[in-house]
Structure 1
Amino acid sequence: MSNLRISGLHKSFGNHTVLHGIDLSVERGTLLALLGPSGSGKTTLLRVLCGFERADSGTVEIDGRQVAGDNLHLPSEQRRIGYVPQEGALFPHLSVADNIVFGLPRGQRRAQHRVAELLELVGLAPDYASRAPQQLSGGQQQRVALARALAPSPTLVMLDEPFSSLDAALRLETRQAVADALAAAGATAVLVTHDQSEALSLGREVAVLWNGKLIQTATPETLYRRPVSRELASFIGEAVLLPGIASRDIARCALGELKLSAPLADGPIDVMVRPEQIHVLHAHELPRDGAPTFGAVVREVTFNGQDASVVLHLQDDDAARANGAAPLNGMTIRARVPGHRSPRPGERVRLAVDGEVTGYARA
């Protein structure tokens, strides 16, 4: 049985519909990342699930118990949901221990029930219990907020962009600690985020909310490699979109004949290639697998340390025409290469594409 099941959920504010018939299931013990751009309805869905807002129609079940439906709206305190807000929202006048037990019955608060266990679970030493929130870093405060959410042994944990206020290095450390703690607790969790890398690295599954509609739910790998639309492809990382022609499971485009991840009807398509699939070879190099190559000139290089983003100006040449490439007409594309292989602006290079690509039929 799914730990969380949402069916036909609608929510409007006045004449503005925010959620359009959401259907979603999250299995017990799974961390699902709910991803979408600003204004997609993520926060509204979270508030409906937590009981902060009432759904217009549809049902919500948590651990087999209906908490929202026709003429039913259980208040948030009866839903057994742990909630971690964006900035922890710890009470500054309470110690870490008192923050953790705040939502527990009076007897358990007095006994500081499970405080040492929960601190260990989120990767903090027992002596943090007596500290004030102001004595903690932002990442430590978020860990305490998670410990507080886990203290009542909730059925479901909701995390509302909990790492957005942290700097880059602390964000990576904290989100891994939070993921480890949720896994150790066997918790079912929904992480709301607009950060693609966060969703892909933390979620066992990722559900994408777009203009109030759930447009794709998949594993991170499937979502990245086979997004259902051009728009989603460009939202989930960088995407190179090229006009092409489909013939069953082959796409012919400016980069030659490429294998499609799923067959399409014969005809015009847009071909989606990820920048890291485009191998940039120096003039004297040959691809290891003997794949066809295409000439290009490096226009710009943005060096990022571990990798570099390279803007390339494609060129018609005899090899490209022999490999079946469509006329290039000065097309510009972007590739991503390891930092130590970064070419120089103005350098003539050869390009080869690695792996399958995704195609989108044109209307």
Structure 2
Amino acid sequence: MSDLTLRGLHKAFGDHVVLRGVDLSVKNGSLLALLGPSGSGKTTLLRTVCGFERASQGTIEIGGRQVESDEIYVRAEARRIGYVSQEGSLFPHLSVAENIVFGLPSQQRRARHRVDELLELVGLPLSCGDRPPHQLSGGQQQRVALARALAPSPSLVMLDEPFSSLDASLRAETRQAVADALAHAGATAVLVTHDQSEALSMGHEVAVLWDGRLIQIAAPDVLYRRPVSREVASFVGEALMLAGVAEQGSARCDLGRLKLSDPHASGPVDVMIRPEQIQVAVEDRDRSELAEDNRCTAYVEAVTFYGHDARLNLRLEAAPASALAGGLAVYARVPGYRAPAVGTRVRLSVDGEVVAYPH
């Protein structure tokens, strides 16, 4: 497999600009998750890298070989890129084995080249090879599509939201199988998705595309804990924004004085807190669980129960270090088994560092 490098990539359809100077590098053998809202340019970027669309400006290199620039254009079929679409796009009149070898030379197709190896790689029984695709589940069909993409030993594998049509339980199982197969094959891959949990759980790095621009590329934990903007913070998971004042490495807000992950900010700020950072203790039962400083009291107004966790809508009774006299609405995530009842008086504190965005 090969690395991928984009420099100054632009793409426009007439007067409509979709990609605006994208610079991106994907390391050999790694999986990059390309994350962004609908209309951000994700699919256009994928199609341009694959050669399905011609870039308006910029260069594309795969394994050090330039496949596109102002002077060079290598056709899609010569770029050696494996492509897995959202639907899988298997041929219904061909068996699973025939689908896997479809893009290979005729001699290898007749010999069912690497079919057993690839079925095993994607976690399917060898008996699937002679079955038609419609006899497989949606998740199994996506694994066959991956096996077909890997069959010609491509330089790069591109996955275009391949799990979006699957139900929740099948999606998680198929994600893991695909991630394991790509890792075992040593594949360099780009996963295009709008699903934050998918990007964070699968990507070695996550790149956020926003209005045609890459605004942050980072490891999943860094992206989640230290998003570069309010927009990224709110898009990648839930984010509570509170007005505050930053000084000397901390920020004062309605939930107390909180330590900043970036101590350079100062003056009026918006403090970003993840809801799971808010520690909730029932006033009487859990008094000893929270430190005496940097805590406040609130009442539980609503509980949304998800099983493994619950979302609490809270109304502050008192807001320390704030111009407000109380009554601010906030929300928190707690383990489902610890969710207090509506009307319960609780104490709140914030665990860990927070991020501040200057006004």
TM-score if structure 1 supplies the norm length? 0.96
1:358 is aligned to 355
The Cα shift of 1:328 comes to 4.7
2:287 is aligned to 286
Q: Distance in 1 between matches of 2:276 and 2:47?
A: 38
Q: Deviations over 1:19-57 (max 9, x none)?
A: 000000000010100000000000000000000000011
Q: 1:104 to 1:91 in 2, by over 3 A?
A: same
After the TM superposition, list the runs of 4 or more consecutive aligned residues in structure 1 that deviate by more than 6 angstroms: none
Classify the secondary structure of the residue corresponding to 2:129: helix
The Cα shift of 1:325 comes to 5.0
Classify the secondary structure of the residue corresponding to 2:53: coil
Asked if 1:188 is matched to 2:188, the reply is yes
| 8 Å contact kept, 1:46–1:158 | yes
Q: Distance in 1 between matches of 2:12 and 2:75?
A: 19
66-75 or 186-195, which deviates more? 66-75
1:313 is aligned to 315
Q: Distance in 1 between matches of 2:354 and 2:317?
A: 21
Classify the secondary structure of the residue corresponding to 1:191: strand
The Cα shift of 1:286 comes to 3.1
The Cα shift of 1:61 comes to 0.3
| 8 Å contact kept, 1:256–1:326 | no
Q: Distance in 2 between matches of 1:294 and 1:328?
A: 12
What one-letter code is carried by the residue in structure 1 that aligns with 2:341?
R
Q: Deviations over 1:261-295 (max 9, x none)?
A: 00134210000000000011001213546253210
Map 1:49-128 onto structure 2 (within 5 A). 49-128=49-128
Q: 1:287 to 1:174 in 2, by over 3 A?
A: farther
Map 1:151-300 onto structure 2 (within 5 A). 151-284=151-284, 285-286=286-287, 288=289, 290=291, 292-300=294-302
For structure 2, the 5+ residue unaligned runs are: none
Q: Distance in 1 between matches of 2:323 and 2:128?
A: 64
The Cα shift of 1:181 comes to 0.2
Asked if 1:339 is matched to 2:341, the reply is no
| 8 Å contact kept, 1:155–1:188 | yes
| 8 Å contact kept, 2:2–2:188 | no
Q: Distance in 1 between matches of 2:245 and 2:110?
A: 70
| 8 Å contact kept, 1:252–1:326 | no
| 8 Å contact kept, 1:2–1:25 | no
Q: Distance in 2 between matches of 1:235 and 1:263?
A: 23
The Cα shift of 1:326 comes to 5.0
For structure 1, the 5+ residue unaligned runs are: none
Classify the secondary structure of the residue corresponding to 2:260: strand
1:133 is aligned to 133
The Cα shift of 1:11 comes to 0.3
Classify the secondary structure of the residue corresponding to 2:257: strand
| 8 Å contact kept, 1:253–1:326 | no
Q: Distance in 2 between matches of 1:200 and 1:229?
A: 17
What one-letter code is carried by the residue in structure 2 that aligns with 1:351?
L
What one-letter code is carried by the residue in structure 2 that aligns with 1:302?
T
Q: Deviations over 1:242-278 (max 9, x none)?
A: 0000103110000110000001342100000000000
1:145 is aligned to 145
| 8 Å contact kept, 1:282–1:348 | yes
Instruction: Quote the RMSD (CA, aligned, Å).
Output: 1.3
Q: Deviations over 1:202-251 (max 9, x none)?
A: 00100000000000000000000011111111111110000000103110
What one-letter code is carried by the residue in structure 2 that aligns with 1:67?
V
| 8 Å contact kept, 2:249–2:264 | yes
The match for 2:326 among 304, 307, 329 is 329
What one-letter code is carried by the residue in structure 2 that aligns with 1:286?
R
Q: Distance in 1 between matches of 2:276 and 2:323?
A: 21
1:13 is aligned to 13
TM-score if structure 2 supplies the norm length? 0.97
Classify the secondary structure of the residue corresponding to 1:49: helix
What one-letter code is carried by the residue in structure 2 that aligns with 1:312?
L
Q: 1:282 to 1:124 in 2, by over 3 A?
A: same
| 8 Å contact kept, 1:257–1:325 | no
Q: Count the aligned residue pairs.
A: 357
